[in-house]
């Protein structure tokens, strides 16, 4: 069994001199504290983009410091709020301003991370060079199940807002490339909602992130409301599942059933 944490949309902002830590900084510290306190540590952590709010160097430095207590591998993707140059400098990748696309085998999974950032745009896309890189990545480790990380989820249909996903052309090419490639799931963000979508037979997982969520019952406008959280992914022989962990609004305890009683139920 493989377990991992899915974080997204940190929107981390470095406080100014003598300023109090921002809400997102406190939320990230809470998550990291919860992850390091888990009785069985997860095998790895994925953060699927919008690492910072404005792509500034100070925020990437803060992120690097915040992630230091995590003893397991951390997979980072870039989103539309990020900046490649500042990220690469802050994490000493030596990649200049190149897309942050990368892959690795972690805990028996081939984790492939795409960079859907398009500077100056809210929507995402994948250019020819990155799709060529993806083809090379897919040629590796074909015997392993694959997990794809991309900040922007695929375009789902005519009812989707154009800024909320990958563009139509990128989505079509990605769908063609991933078919039959053993992809067990795609981890995305951007939309700030807990959602599982079946996309050409591949589940796409998004979660609230650490800044805010939206009121899904608002019929016209986008109503931004309080709500943060993350996901815990579990890969069993039967398949991949995702549990959504709410952080805010804070849940008030209504009762407690001890573990011995739980195990006695039939």
Question: What one-character-per-residue DSSP string does 194-252 give?
Answer: -EEEEETTEEEEE--BSS-EE-TT-SSS--EE--EEEEEEEEETTEEEEEEEEEESPPP
Q: CA–CA separation, 146 vs 111, rounded Å?
A: 6
Residue 18, pLDDT score: 57
Looking up tokens 């699927």 gives 48
Q: Could you give the domains of the chain?
A: 2-264 (3.60.21.10)
Q: Using one digit for the tens of pLDDT, what is the confidence trace for 172-191?
A: 999 999 999 999 999 999 99
Tell me which residue of 159, 166, 72 sits closest to 114, measured CA to CA: 166
Q: Using one digit for the tens of pLDDT, what is the confidence trace for 36-75?
A: 999 999 999 999 999 999 999 999 999 999 999 999 999 9
CA atoms in the 13 A half-sphere facing the CB of 2: 23
Residue 17, pLDDT score: 58
Residue 127, pLDDT score: 95
What mean pLDDT comes out for the span 108-127? 97
Q: Using one digit for the tens of pLDDT, what is the confidence trace for 160-169?
A: 888 999 999 9
pLDDT above 80: residue 242: yes
């Amino acid at each position: 069994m493989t377990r991992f944490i899915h974080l997204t949309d940190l929107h981390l902002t470095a406080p100014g001199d003598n300023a109090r830590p921002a809400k997102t900084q406190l939320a990230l510290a809470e998550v990291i504290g919860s992850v390091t306190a888990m009785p069985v540590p997860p095998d790895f952590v994925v953060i699927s983009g919008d690492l910072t709010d404005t792509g500034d160097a100070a925020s990437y430095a803060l992120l690097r410091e915040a992630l230091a207590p995590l003893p397991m591998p951390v997979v980072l993707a870039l989103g539309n709020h990020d900046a490649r140059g500042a990220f690469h400098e802050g994490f000493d990748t030596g990649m200049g301003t190149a897309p942050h696309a990368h892959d690795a085998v972690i805990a028996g999974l081939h984790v492939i991370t795409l960079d859907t950032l398009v500077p100056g745009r809210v929507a995402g896309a994948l250019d020819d060079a990155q799709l060529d890189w993806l083809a090379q990545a897919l040629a590796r480790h074909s015997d392993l199940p694959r997990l794809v990380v991309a900040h922007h989820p695929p375009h789902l249909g005519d009812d989707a807002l154009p800024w909320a996903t990958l563009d139509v052309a990128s989505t079509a090419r990605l769908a063609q490339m991933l078919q039959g490639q053993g992809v067990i799931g795609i981890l995305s963000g951007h939309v700030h909602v807990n959602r599982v979508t079946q996309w050409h037979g591949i589940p796409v997982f998004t979660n609230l992130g650490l800044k805010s969520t939206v009121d899904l019952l608002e019929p016209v406008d986008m109503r931004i409301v309080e709500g943060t959280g993350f996901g815990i992914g579990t890969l069993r022989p039967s398949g991949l599942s995702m549990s959504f962990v709410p952080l805010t609004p804070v849940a008030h305890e209504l009762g407690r059933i001890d573990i011995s009683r739980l195990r006695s139920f039939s």
